[in-house]
Amino acid sequence: MASFLFVGGWVDLYMCRKTIALMLFVGLIFWSCDDSKGTEDKPFENPIIVLDDVDSSPVAGEEDGLTIIQEEEWSTPVKLQADDEGAEDGTYITRDGRYVLFYHVPVWGHGDADPQIYYSERPFLTRQVHPITSADFNAEAGPYISEANDIYYTKTFIVLEPEPHETTPRKIVMNDGSTIIDMGTGEHEGNPHYCDEWDELYANIEYESGDTDIAVFKDGETTILPEPINLPGNLELQPFLTDDCQTMYFTSSRGKLISIFPLQVYKSQRLGEFEWGEPVLFLSYPQPEGILGGVGEFSMTRDGNQMVFLELTITGEGEDLFATNKMYYAEKINN
């Protein structure tokens, strides 16, 4: 289980808050869990089939978030009722609007918590464990379903025996996990988004320093996107593209005021194969007194009329430090 040590002083406090942000919100560090799920994986069957039409039936929830949508035609975001006292990460709404997938820790901070990938069917009141969740010590996160109905996600590769334990950087896998997509960076690779139209796999690369960049894997080669997408000294991560691959949404710390906060969602238009226009702020997150955090893990239906995202909230200091993620939904009005 992860733990945090406060050495004292503001710098150390913000360093710890950055680590918590990466754990809770960025989806880059997985909680360790015991081997109580068993020793053999069940045969893979994806219970989710994405349909051609988009379900726009009502979704209810509490309007208690802080995120501000910068475009006026959107409803006030509501917290999904499948959310509970645990913490969520890696949210993804399928392009037909019928399902939300996410990584969930039932009791955050408890060593016996069993983090897994869940899915919730519209109107997103309950949740079920998705069968890509492995039966062993390893963990999965960051699910995304392509137009071909392949499910991409991030997986840990930890070998417990013999000791010392062996581990390799987290990699992107498909479907039952037997197909590993190694982007060749030697770093942690996660938050995948496969763009069918251009045959491109977008992901974020996490370096040993904790910094992240957005990269594209195409024709067996990996390209780290240049400015204005990746900026020195900032976190750039969690890419999401529209089906025509012409618009990209991603999370960034480029508007930071304190440490890496607030994390916010930006929108950019494609200019060429690996070229993107100047990002504009799409989802902003205010920093009320006593609160740090951000918004990210953005996804949208194929018609562009529904979105799901996460809010990260960090309050308190020292032993009173508390952080959590919550899932929110919004839709365009009068569509």
pLDDT per residue as tens digits for the range 72-124: 999 999 999 998 767 888 999 999 999 999 988 765 444 455 578 999 999 99
The verdict on residue 178 lying in a domain is yes
Q: Does residue 265 belong to any structural domain of this protein?
A: no
Q: Can you give the residue range of the structural domain that contains 225?
A: 1-73+82-91+125-237
Residue 261 has pLDDT above 80, yes or no: yes
Q: Tell me, what amino acid is at 254? A: R
d(CA 126, CA 81): 7
- Count the domains in the chain: 1
CB 113: neighbour CB atoms within 10 A?
Answer: 19
**Residue in the structure block whose two tokens are 């799409």:** 282
Q: Which of 90, 273, 263, 270 is nearest to 190 (CA)?
A: 90
Kindly state whether residue 139 falls inside one of the protein's structural domains. yes
DSSP-based three-state secondary structure for 109? coil
- Does 281 have pLDDT greater than 50? yes
In a domain, 49, yes or no: yes
Count Cβ atoms below 10 Å from residue 47 Cβ, excluding itself.
Answer: 10
120-147: average pLDDT: 91
CA distance 73 to 331: 9
156 three-state secondary structure: strand
Reported as a pLDDT band with limits 50, 70 and 90, residue 38 is: very low
Indicate whether 212 pLDDT > 70: yes
pLDDT of residue 234: 94
Condensed to tens digits (0 to 9), the pLDDT of residues 301-323 reads 999 999 999 999 988 888 888 88
Q: What is the mean pLDDT of residues 264-291?
A: 96
Check whether 24 has a pLDDT greater than 90. Answer: no
Please report, to the nearest 10 degrees, the dihedral formed by the alpha carbons of residues 293, 294, 296, 300 taken in order: 130
Q: Which residue has the tokens 């997150």?
A: 285
pLDDT of residue 113: 54
Distances (CA, A) of 118 to 99, 115, 127, 288: 10, 9, 6, 31
Judged against a pLDDT cut of 60, whether residue 211 lies above it is answered with: yes
Using the predicted structure, report yes or no on whether residue 34 has a pLDDT greater than 60.
no
Answer whether residue 321 is part of any domain. no
For every residue of 305-319, DSSP letters joined together read: -EEEEEEEEEE--GG
Specify the 3-state DSSP secondary structure of 170: strand
227 found inside a domain: yes
Residue 16 has pLDDT above 70, yes or no: no
> What's the maximum distance between 2 C-alpha atoms anywhere in the chain?
60
Name all contacts of 82-86 with Cβ < 8 Å and 24+ positions apart: 82/118, 82/120, 82/124, 82/125, 82/126, 82/127, 82/327, 83/326, 83/327, 86/113
- Within a domain: residue 233? yes
Residue 279 forms part of a structural domain: no
Q: How many Cβ atoms are within 10 Å of 200's Cβ, its own excluded?
A: 18
Residue 157 confidence (pLDDT) above 70: yes
Place of tokens 């955050």: 108
* 92 bridge partner residues: 101
